[in-house]
Structure 1
Amino acid sequence: MSLLAKHLCKHNNCSSLVNILKKRNLTTNPIVAVEQGKLKGAASKLLDGSEYYSFKGIPYAQPPIRDLRFKAPLPPKSWDGVYEATKHGPVCPQLNTITAKVIEGNEDCLYLNVYTKSLAPSDKLPVMVFIHGGALMSGSGNSDAYGPDFLLQHDVILVTLNYRLEVLGFLNLDIPEVPGNAGMKDQVAALKWVKSNIAKFGGDPDNITLIGESASAAGVTSHMISSMSKGLFNKAIAQSGTVMDDWMRNRDSQARAFRLGKVLGKDTDNPVDLLKFLQSVPATNFAGSTLKIRTFEESNRGGPILFTPIVEKDFGNVEPFLNVDPVNAIASGNVSKIPVLTGYNSLEAIMMIGTIRKKAEFRSKNPDYLVPKEIVFNNVSAEKLKEFGNRIKKFYVGDGEFNDDTIEAQIHMLSDYHYTYSINRFTYLYSKTDQPIYNYVLDYNSDMNLFKKMLKVKHIKGMCHAEDQFYLFSNKSTTDIYKAQENIRNMVYTLTKLWTNFAKTSDPTPDESLGVKWNPYTPSGKEYLHIGEPLRMGHAANSERVEFWNQLFRDAGLPHVISSKNN
């Protein structure tokens, strides 16, 4: 209790004062009773000076260790006494994809964090559950990257979480014990915990928005398809990714597991024997396995993600996370019909500048490796693949080559390949349901675009992949910039206001306070919001480039593309 509170207690009813302080969210060490026991959190201040509570490192499942490695998570156990929830739990073992260093972490990493300005169940604050990106290979929900300051200013609850990554989270042996998707089932377990407990933190369990960026945006849209996730969230925000993205395409996952075993010292074609061996390997040995076991095809076509969600085999007594083809599910409306907000940054593939330069000569000589996996998996002939590859090259660089003179054209090409087309395609197909879907292109350049600065390409106009995160979440890298520059504070406010409006009302612009009305996407109008200075509505984002890829998919005989007609 503060010195002021102690002084007041001498002259007033102290118990009454404590109640007043609790109502004003000034309790120093808040205690919340959840289903598993009591949690002790901490009180902190946001950048705007307002108070909030944090509860960090809350276990939402049993540790997936020893015999539980690679398997679906089990519900968390109860505890006696008061659980200290003032520090983040361990991060999952991983390879840092920026520094290329192994982060040891701990397999016991299934923890989540809750940030709230109220603990009164009657307040029923909207809940935003954020799943971190990182190519399903790296990252955590910790506040060193995903601080709550920017979002909580709008009176919502933020939940962040860890889930198992790469091999530990997405190994598939095609047997009932390890059917795949363990990392996605971790996320389901976290959503179940939130649904059951968030009211104790002042949240509304019937108003939960699931948010993801990049690979986790693809995960969010996977949750929309999964029967396992049904009813656990009410809205979805998918930033720079959907389940239809080419880098989410996965097959031959059991063969990949056998290659992994061989690299680690077990050459076998028996999945049960392989499971026993892999459960004995130190967890850190799995970090970066993707880079160690890629085939030539996997290294040169598509994104650098091999361990991803898969369509599981039917084992009868094993509940699958995903058991239908995602594209067919979305096209047929076999999804959770909820309000959706989705879009992408204006020049995503700036993030790939190193790979663009490294592979320029190879791609010039072998443009057929620019053909998406979805087309390749459709049994298109080698001759046709060569034709498609040459069409792609011609569209972006004309008679030129992939070299330093055509860097920006290559960035546009890979932005479209990995993000622009698939997100527009997803938006079009989902708009056929009876639920609103809001589409955007985020295009803002400032000192907060830290990845462009790190990559030494600040001169290229456009927002790089993952730079949207700097405007939604506070962290040590952005706080000083945010405090110093009013234009950045204004953009942070605008973006977080749009996102939290959507979480609150299913409409990002329920009033005219931001000076624009963001209308949902329709098949005829293809509406989208250009998020920059100023905000403005548009139609058919990147239409010429989207139609190029659309025609390529048509010519490959693939169904479920964007109709060129106004319907």
Structure 2
Amino acid sequence: MFLLRKLEGLLVRTKQNSSQFLSTSGTMSNPIVTVKEGKLKGATKKLLDGSTYYSFKGIPYAQPPIGKLRFKAPLPPKPWEGIHEAIEHGAVCPQADITTMQLVEGSENCLFLNVYSKSLQPDAKQPVMVFIHGGAYMSGSGDTDTLGPEFLIQHDVILVTINYRLEVLGFLCLDTADVPGNAGMKDQVAALRWVQSNIAQFGGDPNNVTLFGESAGSASVTQHMISPMSKGLFHKAIAQSGTCLEDWSIGRNAKERAFRAARYLGNETENVDELLEFLQGEPATNLAHLTMKTRTPDEKFRGLPIHFTPVVEKPFDNVDRFLDEEPIDKVLTNKIHKVPLMIGYVSHEGLLMLADRLRKADLYNKESHYLVPRDIATKLSDEKRKEFGERILRFYTGDKGISSETAEAIVDMQTDLNFAYNTHRFAHYYSATNEPIYLYRFSFDTELNFIKSIAVGQSQVDMKGACHADDLFYLFNNEMNKDFIEKKDYLKKIVFDVTKLWTDFAKTGNPTPGDSSVRWVPYTRAGKEFLDLNHSMTPGHNPEGPRIDFWNKLYCDAGLPCITKSTL
């Protein structure tokens, strides 16, 4: 009897496993996959070439961070009974839409991820790519309205996209054991842990995970590279337009900002416990868009309006710290997870800020010290800040100042101080690890540059090149680019070529392996090799060299870590 029951149990498990992966035959429209917490029902979808892939949306990777769990590190997901429907996306996190500044209510129960795979066979061992969305740590989601999987998974990789808590809900820091900060980053860690535990069930290889992201998501990628919590959770990294060295990617005076947020909401307490109780009782939508309401007078004009961000956490017993040291110190001392790295920026990142800078031209021309980034400005006297501001303005515009006539120079300035310089700086320091680094500049300028078209409309100034976040439309399918790509073969080829670089890197650690028609040479300190991603995929050396040298001298002159002869 005992042996019979064992055989019956084995037969049941075999049937469960076979039904779990029956979807690979294309005969099952709603595949069932079993993960640690229970069963998931997904959907069968079509790629552009008509082939099949499998979609699992709205998978809970942590417990809902609601009530007394608000602002705290995520807890592991609880098991569920029956079959969890994973056909539609879960709720987005409460936020202010970064493009319209309209409140998006969403739900605090928003810690969901999405998995897309062409094969559910457990022995497929497909490379896994986990994407962290941008949006200034205050906006965005992993949903297919912008992050459709079809372009990437056509190359036989698995794509995972995630939600994480944003702005105050994700990045409030009270310098206490209960709210040490970085809840949103710990959400990302929880998602990566879920991938390690479960991705094999979707045909993925947990030992070949590439973490990639854009803008705040890119800075997040490099923060994971220095976080003790993220060690071993990924094996390659792609950083698109942002690093942990940017002044906008690390929070300062976070506790004071929390009290300013409460005062804006009508609470004048000076007690941390009362502050936490008050903020935990506020409707979630009241906590969205507080970045703009909590700026200091200086922050209204200096740098980017990104302030609820990752912080260096104070140590507390039995509390894991996502960031335990200043990012620059970790990078300088090689306290960093050593993985192959692809890193770069788009050619005209600063187009996104051009309209704002032109609107405030008189202010910046008169008060050029506001052009000095925060990490430098805090090290200087008022007199020195003024001197540095004049140097910046003169370097880019000569004696003409900020105006439509110098628009391209202003775009270069914003590109360099917010993205390009610290990309070069990060690559330079990271090269000490001897891990392969592939540096790029993204310059494609086609009908897919949707963010550029918006920026040009706002500033009434056009120029060649790619704007901040334009690269996303070459990597992810969505309603904006779908028709263009389906109707224009040359755009389809560009998308194929760009996504092949990304996925070949995910597969091999080299974006142009084997007999690729393009050879992308790894970055070295001596050669500063890079690939310009354009119609001809042009290799080169030292992009934006004189401009990078200018910023490097500013950092050196301010007494901050910079690229010196001793580090060459």
TM-score computed with the length of structure 2 as normaliser: 0.95
Task: Tell me if 1:239 matches 2:253.
Answer: no
Residue 459 of structure 1: aligned partner: 462
Shift of 1:23: 4.0
Q: How does 1:7-406 map to 2 (within 5 A)?
A: 22-378=23-379, 380-406=380-406
Residue 409 of structure 2: aligned partner: 409
Q: How does 1:491-510 map to 2 (within 5 A)?
A: 491-510=494-513
Q: Secondary structure at the match of 1:123?
A: coil
Whole-Å separation in 2 of the counterparts to 1:41 and 1:458:
46
Q: Secondary structure at the match of 2:281?
A: coil
Q: 1:209–1:236: 8 Å Cα contact kept in structure 2? A: yes
Residue 434 of structure 2: aligned partner: 434
Give the CA RMSD over aligned residues.
Answer: 1.7
Gaps of 5+ in 1: 1-14
Q: Which moved more, 1:250-259 or 1:484-493?
A: 484-493
Query: Which runs of structure 1 show a deviation greater than 4 angstroms over 4 or more consecutive aligned residues?
Result: 17-21
Residue 4 of structure 1: aligned partner: none
Whole-Å separation in 1 of the counterparts to 2:360 and 2:138:
22
Equivalent AA in structure 2 for residue 381 of structure 1: S
Equivalent AA in structure 2 for residue 108 of structure 1: N
Equivalent AA in structure 2 for residue 519 of structure 1: V
Deviations 1:222-270 (A, max 9, x none): 0010010110011110100000012124211100000001111211111
Shift of 1:21: 5.8
Shift of 1:564: 5.4
Deviations 1:187-217 (A, max 9, x none): 0000000010000000000000001100110
**For residues 375 and 458 of structure 1, do their structure 2 counterparts lie closer, same or farther at Cα, with a shift above 3 Å needed?**
closer
Whole-Å separation in 1 of the counterparts to 2:136 and 2:98:
9
Q: 1:25–1:117: 8 Å Cα contact kept in structure 2? A: no
Q: 1:530–1:536: 8 Å Cα contact kept in structure 2? A: yes
Whole-Å separation in 2 of the counterparts to 1:352 and 1:372:
14
Residue 545 of structure 1: aligned partner: 547
Shift of 1:317: 2.1
Residue 12 of structure 1: aligned partner: none
Q: 1:525–1:566: 8 Å Cα contact kept in structure 2? A: no
Q: 2:72–2:183: 8 Å Cα contact kept in structure 1? A: yes
Q: 1:63–1:107: 8 Å Cα contact kept in structure 2? A: yes
**For residues 139 and 254 of structure 1, do their structure 2 counterparts lie closer, same or farther at Cα, with a shift above 3 Å needed?**
same
Whole-Å separation in 2 of the counterparts to 1:287 and 1:461:
35
Percent of aligned positions that are identical:
54
Gaps of 5+ in 2: 1-15
Q: 1:51–1:117: 8 Å Cα contact kept in structure 2? A: yes
Q: 2:238–2:341: 8 Å Cα contact kept in structure 1? A: yes
Shift of 1:355: 1.1
Deviations 1:330-365 (A, max 9, x none): 111100000110000000011112211222111101
Residue 563 of structure 1: aligned partner: 564
Residue 488 of structure 2: aligned partner: 485
Whole-Å separation in 1 of the counterparts to 2:298 and 2:461:
32
Whole-Å separation in 1 of the counterparts to 2:300 and 2:97:
19
Q: Secondary structure at the match of 2:439?
A: strand
Whole-Å separation in 1 of the counterparts to 2:539 and 2:21:
46
Whole-Å separation in 2 of the counterparts to 1:173 and 1:492:
44
Q: 1:26–1:51: 8 Å Cα contact kept in structure 2? A: no
Whole-Å separation in 2 of the counterparts to 1:323 and 1:40:
39
Q: 1:442–1:463: 8 Å Cα contact kept in structure 2? A: yes
**For residues 25 and 237 of structure 1, do their structure 2 counterparts lie closer, same or farther at Cα, with a shift above 3 Å needed?**
farther
Whole-Å separation in 2 of the counterparts to 1:282 and 1:434:
49
Residue 421 of structure 1: aligned partner: 421
TM-score computed with the length of structure 1 as normaliser: 0.95
Q: Secondary structure at the match of 1:122?
A: coil
Q: Secondary structure at the match of 1:314?
A: coil
Equivalent AA in structure 1 for residue 402 of structure 2: F
Shift of 1:454: 2.2
Aligned length: 550
